[in-house]
């Protein structure tokens, strides 16, 4: 089965990504029915582990979103393991140099493109079961995160590493690295100029830029700027926002 995000990006379309911090198959199943193009299980900052990731993937299987994972760090064992578990894309945090990007690609790709160990215990039904190993290198997404000044200093070298499909921007850590408060929907002119540079440099190379956002309105603006994947908050944040709005809507009458 072809990777739907790749197809949409090649057609010039932007995609909307959901984010799972809650380790629950039920909440993953609910999120999967909301219309996302992809849904990412967050193993870095979410309250997820490998088994809850598998449960979330199983809950989402009968629904359209492409299953992806943000791994905790650039470590070969977990990168290969989430792919074996059925991830179609891996977002890897804190990629700061071309060497770190190459290490990420090496961990995510089978030989001859990398050094991923063979054992797709759950991913084998991907495409035609007997041909998973011949399609995985082409169809799974490798998405390094650009979120530090060091990464910006090395941006062109990182983007030139073969095997990178897209980059993903972490606005909180990016701001932190630049001496700014950590937050998502940023308006600082220097940050917006960085976003413009990231979009320009990725477009030159035929790869794509993604961004984590807090609000739908800001995500729409970022699509208009040129980002091809936008995430809106996460499941726990969206639940809180909806619950708070519901309470506030009736609080005055209840007082």
- Dump pLDDT digits (tens) for 38-51: 999 999 999 999 99
Q: Is 45 a catalytic residue?
A: yes
- Dump pLDDT digits (tens) for 80-127: 999 999 999 999 999 999 999 999 999 999 999 999 999 999 998 665
At 221, which helix (H) or strand (E)? helix 216-225
- Dump pLDDT digits (tens) for 114-145: 999 999 999 986 655 568 999 999 999 999 99
* 59 and 26 Cβ atoms separated by less than 8 Å: yes
* 168 and 156 Cβ atoms separated by less than 8 Å: no
* 95 and 158 Cβ atoms separated by less than 8 Å: yes
Residues for the chain: how many in total?
Answer: 255
The CA distance from 101 to 79, in Å, is 13
- The mean predicted confidence, pLDDT, of the chain is 96
The CA distance from 179 to 165, in Å, is 29
Average pLDDT over every residue of 214-226: 98
Task: Give me the catalytic one of 4, 45, 106, 122.
Answer: 45
The residues near 125 (Cβ < 8 Å, ≥ 6 apart) are none
pLDDT of residue 1: 61
* 172 and 145 Cβ atoms separated by less than 8 Å: no
pLDDT of residue 165: 98
Beta pairing, strands 229-232 & 15-20: parallel
Q: How many CB atoms lie within 10 A of CB 34?
A: 13
């Amino acid at each position: 089965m072809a990777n739907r995000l790749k197809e949409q990006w090649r057609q010039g379309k932007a995609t909307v990504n959901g984010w799972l911090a809650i380790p629950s198959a039920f909440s993953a199943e609910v999120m999967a029915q909301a219309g996302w193009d992809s849904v990412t299980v967050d193993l870095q900052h979410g309250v997820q582990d490998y088994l809850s990731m598998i449960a979330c993937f199983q809950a989402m299987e009968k629904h359209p979103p492409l299953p992806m994972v943000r791994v905790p760090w650039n470590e070969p064992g977990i990168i290969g393991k989430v792919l074996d578990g059925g991830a179609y894309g891996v977002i890897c945090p804190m990629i700061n140099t071309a060497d770190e990007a190459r290490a990420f690609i090496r961990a995510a790709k089978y030989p001859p493109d990398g050094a991923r160990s063979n054992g797709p215990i759950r991913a084998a039904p991907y495409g035609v079961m007997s041909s998973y190993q011949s399609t995985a290198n082409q169809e799974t997404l490798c998405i390094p995160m650009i979120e530090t000044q060091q990464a910006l200093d090395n941006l062109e070298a990182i983007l030139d590493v073969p095997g990178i499909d897209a980059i993903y921007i972490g606005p909180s850590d990016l701001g932190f690295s630049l001496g700014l408060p950590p937050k998502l929907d940023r308006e600082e002119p220097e940050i917006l100029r960085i976003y413009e540079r990231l979009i320009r440099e990725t477009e030159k190379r035929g790869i794509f830029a993604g961004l984590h956002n807090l609000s739908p309105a800001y995500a729409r603006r970022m699509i208009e700027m040129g980002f091809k994947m936008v995430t809106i908050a996460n499941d726990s944040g969206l639940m809180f926002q909806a619950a708070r709005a519901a309470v506030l809507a009736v609080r005055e009458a209840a007082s």
